[in-house]
Amino acid sequence: MVSLGAVALLMGAIAPTLDKLSWIPFLTLAGLLLIGILFGTLTVEIDESKISCWFGFGLIRKEFLLAEVTDAVAVKNLWFYGWGIRYIPRGWMFNVSGLDAVEITSTSGKHFRIGTDEPRKLESAIRQGAGLPS
């Protein structure tokens, strides 16, 4: 994976050769590269006490204590909910691609959706970790 330092070094090396008009495509490309690095993957990890999910290399992350999870159910997102970090009618959502997700309900009544290509498997793992019936 390309580091942000390498991107900055490349930008510094190329910048003196660019005239004013050619900055626009270069900055667009650099912005798309940064978005790809930050949001290109969504990783979900469940251990004995918590659920962790993060984009890219972990700069943007969310954690839930399994003890506070009261429900987990596989759901289908509406197409216009989109990808990335979204505020949707029932709460927040992390999604990279597709429409499948697992909606987690916490003891506070808040909802959070985690996009996944294996919703039944993730739902089962969360339910097992939180001690919920299948």
In the three-class reduction of DSSP (H, G, I as helix; E, B as strand; rest coil), residue 54 is classed as strand
In the three-class reduction of DSSP (H, G, I as helix; E, B as strand; rest coil), residue 91 is classed as strand
CA 121 to chain centre: 18
Give mean pLDDT, residues 87-112. 96
Inter-residue contact 76 to 113 (CB < 8 Å): no
The CATH code for residues 42-130 is 2.30.29.30
What whole-number distance in Å separates Cα of residue 51 and Cα of residue 18? Answer: 46
pLDDT at residue 1 greater than cutoff 60: no
How many C-beta atoms lie closer than 10 Å to residue 34's C-beta?
14
What whole-number distance in Å separates Cα of residue 104 and Cα of residue 60? Answer: 18
Could you read off the pLDDT of 99-111 as tens digits, one per residue? Answer: 999 999 999 999 9
How many C-beta atoms lie closer than 10 Å to residue 89's C-beta?
7
AA letter at 57: F
pTM for this entry? 0.77
Going from N- to C-terminal start, the domains of the chain cover 4-39, 42-130
Q: Which residues pair with 5 in a beta bridge?
A: none
Inter-residue contact 127 to 74 (CB < 8 Å): no
Closest residue by Cα to residue 55 from 36, 42, 46: 42
Inter-residue contact 93 to 84 (CB < 8 Å): no
Could you read off the pLDDT of 35-85 as tens digits, one per residue? Answer: 888 888 999 999 999 999 999 988 899 999 999 999 999 999 999 999 999
